[in-house]
Amino acid sequence: MKRVIALSYGEIALKKDNRSHFVTILKRNIKSALSGIDYSIRQDQSILYISTDEYKEAIDRLKKVFGVSYVSLEIEVEPSMDSINEAAIEAMDYELEKGSFKTFKVETKRADKSFPLKSPEISRMVGAHILKHYKVLEVDVKNPDRIIRVDIRKFAYITCNRMKGMGGMPVGSNGRVLSMLSGGIDSPVASILAMKRGLSCDFVHFHSYPFTSGRSFDKTLDLAKLASVYQPHAMLFSMNLLKIQEEIGKKCDIRFTTLLQRRSMIRLATRLCKELDRQAIVTGENLGQVASQTLEGMSVVDPVSDLMILRPLLCFDKTEIVDLAREFNTFETSILPYEDCCTVFVAKHPKTNPSLEQVLNEESKYDYKTLEEEIYSKMERHGVK
Ligand code: ATP
Ligand code: MG
């Protein structure tokens, strides 16, 4: 009996006209996720079947590919009742090895309508076979401990272990963006959520070396790597904002520091976006979290860019963001205690209700254009994967 991994792609299956475009990108992302593993792939309607000897490792990796709604390890047999029954016992044995349970039900789908029995009959026969084999198990159709799924196509597929995939859409299927990555909790989560909706992300990070340390940069590079587990490839760009921060510190009202810094960051990110042909900027901003993330704060920063600024976390609670950071495996790195460039120069009481006029007035006190030109020209590029 042959084991194969079945991947179902939920949302893409609904895209009638350009489904093949999405599936091509999904296959490319699967290839990247499975690099180093020997496998073959076959498509049957809206299921991809992957054959490999290293199925455990492959499943771990495939569970992180966006666009896949379910991942399951299935037994592939000839479509006959004897083979299906035999496979159902093997699937149950495999499941019972992992831990005992009491109840089950069988669900059958018959994509191949030429199979002589109808789905409910097949379910009943497989159920009866399992009951005869395991005297301790019972059928519970409402609330079973396990569901055995039988899928009849050219071959029959039997599984007792369907796992949820990441869902979403294949990374790259909706465009390319530049994500502003700090060393905090929010921005890696925002980046991964952007990937979940099919956006491939490159990253830009601003630091204040030597005020911020090399370790603080390494932490950001690690976060870019952790976030990029969910996409095929990425670059991290870094720029040293210190000169601008020093100028602002010397010449401007301290209450405007954060807003002025953010305007420079967005201007520089916009320039990079255009150079890289990226369509939008992503940030981890979250409404009301700090003074610069109020509607007033954001509305005096946004006008410096003519690009869309996407804020996937705008309406999340911090506890929800932390839960996602744990789920995406970025949390432990994000909370390492290295300083962030924005915390090096920050006012105790930032301006909470700034007007654009006040901000422009502060910004006219130093030559940000020349400074930004210099900062941009010294930008560094790092491959993430
Ligand atoms: P995070 O947890 O992502 O650091 P935060 O809640 O600390 O977010 P801020 O520091 O105010 O919020 O920054 C808001 C957003 O601006 C960040 O989520 C990130 O997208 C961007 N940002 C902030 N600092 C930097 C930086 N040093 N480099 C690049 N982007 C940054
Ligand atoms: Mg931060």
DSSP per-residue string spanning 355-369: -HHHHHHHHTTS-HH
Strands 47-51 and 2-8: antiparallel
Q: What is the DSSP string of 314-338?
A: TT--HHHHHHHHHHTT-HHHHTS--
Computed over its alpha carbons, how large is the radius of gyration of the chain? Answer: 26
> How many angstroms is it from 195 CA to the middle of ligand 1?
18
**Strands (DSSP E) found in 219-326:** 235-240, 280-282, 308-310
Is any atom of ligand 1 closer than 6 Å to the C-beta of 290? yes
In the numeric block, the tokens 């909790």 are attached to: 185
- 286 CA from centroid of ligand 1 (Å): 10
Cβ–ligand 1 distance for 182 under 6 Å, the answer yes
pLDDT of 384? 95
* Per-residue pLDDT tens digits for 272-293: 999 999 999 999 999 987 777 8
Under DSSP, is residue 125 helix (H, G, I), strand (E, B) or coil?
helix
pLDDT of 342 higher than 70: no
Which of 187, 203, 262 most suits a substitution to test ligand 1, by most atoms within 8 Å of the C-beta? 187
What is the per-residue pLDDT for 132?
96
Evaluate whether 341 touches 248 at the Cβ level (below 8 Å): no
Neighbouring-strand partners of residue 157: 76, 151
Number of helical (H) and strand (E) elements in the chain, helices listed first: 14, 15
183 alpha carbon – ligand 1 mean position (Å): 7
Tell me the average pLDDT across 294-305: 94
Taking only the tens place, the pLDDT of each residue in 143-171 is: 999 999 999 999 999 999 899 999 999 99
pLDDT value of position 344: 63
pLDDT in tens, 311-338: 999 999 999 999 999 999 999 999 998 7
CA 72 – ligand 2 centroid, Å? 38
**Protein residue with its CA nearest to atom 29 in ligand 1:** 205
* Nearest CA residue ID for atom 24, ligand 1: 182
Residues with Cβ within 8 Å of residue 287, at least 6 apart in sequence: 293, 294, 295, 314, 315
Query: For 210-227, how does the pLDDT look when each residue is reduced to its tens digit (9 = 90+)?
Result: 988 888 899 999 999 999
Q: Does residue 284 have its Cβ closer than 6 Å to ligand 1? A: yes
Q: How far is the CA of 285 from the centre of ligand 1 (A)?
A: 7
* C-alpha of residue 87 to centroid of ligand 1, in Å: 52
Say which amino acid occupies 332: E
Q: Which of 270, 222, 264 is nearest to 382 (CA)?
A: 222
Alpha-carbon span 156 to 220, nearest angstrom:
47
Question: Confidence band (pLDDT; 50, 70, 90) for 119?
Answer: very high
**pLDDT confidence tier of residue 341, bands split at 50, 70 and 90:** low
Does the pLDDT at position 354 exceed 80?
yes
Euclidean distance between CA atoms 360 and 337, whole angstroms: 34
Q: Does the Cβ of 342 fall within 6 Å of ligand 1?
A: yes
What is the spatial distance between Cα 221 and Cα 201, in angstroms, rounded to a whole number? Answer: 14
149, two tokens: 């799924």
Ligand 1 in contact with 206 (CB < 6 A)? yes
Tell me: pLDDT of 345 over 90. no
The answer to whether 264 and 241 have CB atoms below 8 angstroms apart is yes
> For 202-233, b where at least 16 C-beta lie within 10 A, e where not — what string?
bbbbbbbeebbeeebbebbbbbbebbbbbbbe
How many Å apart are CA 163 and CA 94, to the nearest integer? 15
Closest residue by CA, ligand 1 atom 17? 284
At 123 the three-state DSSP class reads helix
With a cut of 80, say whether residue 17 has pLDDT above it. no
Q: Is the pLDDT of residue 235 over 90?
A: yes
Q: What H or E segment, with its residue span, contains residue 175?
A: strand 175-180
Q: Compute the distance between CA of residue 76 and CA of residue 70 in angstroms, rounded to an integer.
A: 17
Q: Is the pLDDT of residue 180 over 90?
A: yes
